[in-house]
Amino acid sequence: MNGHYAIDVQGLSKSFGDKRVVNALSLRVEEGEIYGFLGPNGSGKTTSIRMLCGLLTPDAGSGTCLGFDVRSQSAEIKKQVGYMTQRFSFYEDLSIRENLDFVARLYDMPNRRETVEASMEHLGLANRAKQLAGTLSGGWKQRLALAACMLHRPRLLLLDEPTAGVDPKARRDFWDEIHRLAGQGISVLVSTHYMDEAARCHRLAYIAYGNLLVSGTPDELIADSKLASFSVQDGNPAMADQLRNLPGVEQVVAMGNMYSVSGQNSALINQSLASVPGLRFEQVDTGLEQVFIQLMDNVKDPVQ
């Protein structure tokens, strides 16, 4: 990474009525970096993204997005950011070409027709140019949304759960494109619930109930969790409660014909599993899913 920040904010906060949705968020995203933004529904991810792209003004805090002040230069930020919302937000009774042409008109782009055609060609939309947006599958709607985000050649992409409800192949193709764009120097902040997508980010932040809990590379977050994980080769549904009650075990997740068992005391878990007659198990690498389950187990919803 080059040490130049596409996003550099400190202490951003936002409330709606009496509810503090984002609490003193500080975040740095380097140019050309893919930064994953994770957390449960209602954790403040979308509100944070909207403050960064100039759609919401923070109640407190300061900082810059693409070198522009997030509080006073939102109009400049909007010109250079591509924002992909959670929900499909294009006209379903217009074709792919018509939707992209409409977006190009909003940006008052020169060579509008050529730009739209090049965008469709690049993302494999050209053969469907006349298809109505409302008839597209989730994966094709996603491509249309990304094409619209990229029309004005933004320096930063803010993607809010862009692959929700999309099939695995479309998700993989989407992420291949995101990595290609990052290779061209475009910065990406992307929120996701998928752990395989989180693992493809350069760095991650985890937010819960408005508070940033941890940040770092995937490897750093796994190491910092100090979790040891074991694969238990027993798919008996009745085994789950027995495993949860073993000393040292903090997490038990059923995975087909096996269980994933995790905790911070590797030696104690190993001893506990060995005490169960006939149980087959082995230590395995800890994944991001176990790390984030641990994080959520250690925080409480302030509303409850």
* CA–CA gap between residue 56 and residue 65 (Å, rounded): 13
Flag whether pLDDT at 286 surpasses 90. Answer: yes
Helix, strand, coil distribution of the chain in percent, nearest 5: 35, 30, 35
So what's the pLDDT on residue 86? 80
Q: Pick from 59, 61, 43, 44: which is nearest to 7 by CA? A: 61
More confident residue, 80 or 170: 80
Domain membership of residue 174 (yes or no) is yes
Number of folded domains that form the chain: 2
Domain stop point among 187, 216, 245: 216
**Domain enclosing residue 63, as ranges:** 5-216
* Same domain? 62 vs 121: yes
Cβ–Cβ under 8 Å, residues 195 and 288: yes
So what's the pLDDT on residue 170? 84
Q: Is the pTM of this model over 0.85?
A: yes
Flag whether pLDDT at 215 surpasses 90. Answer: yes
Domain stop point among 196, 216, 236: 216
* CA–CA gap between residue 91 and residue 202 (Å, rounded): 34
Element housing 119 (H / E): helix 112-122
Domain membership of residue 303 (yes or no) is no
Q: Pick from 179, 112, 121: which is nearest to 152 by CA? A: 112
Q: Pick from 52, 18, 31: which is nearest to 207 by CA? A: 52
* Same domain? 232 vs 205: no
pLDDT in tens, 124-165: 899 999 999 999 988 899 889 999 999 999 999 999 988 887
| pLDDT category of residue 257 using cuts at 50, 70 and 90 | confident
The partner residues of 230 in beta bridges, in order of sequence, read: 261, 283
- CA 251 to chain CA centroid, Å, is 23
Domain membership of residue 261 (yes or no) is yes
Domain membership of residue 265 (yes or no) is yes
Q: Provide the mean pLDDT of the chain.
A: 91
Domain membership of residue 302 (yes or no) is no
Token duo for residue 166: 């999309």
157: CATH: 3.40.50.300
Lowest mean pLDDT among 44-58, 231-245, 266-280: 231-245
Flag whether pLDDT at 301 surpasses 70. Answer: no
Mean pLDDT of 19-30: 95
252: CATH: 3.30.70.920
pLDDT in tens, 36-83: 999 888 889 999 999 999 899 999 999 999 999 999 999 999 989 999
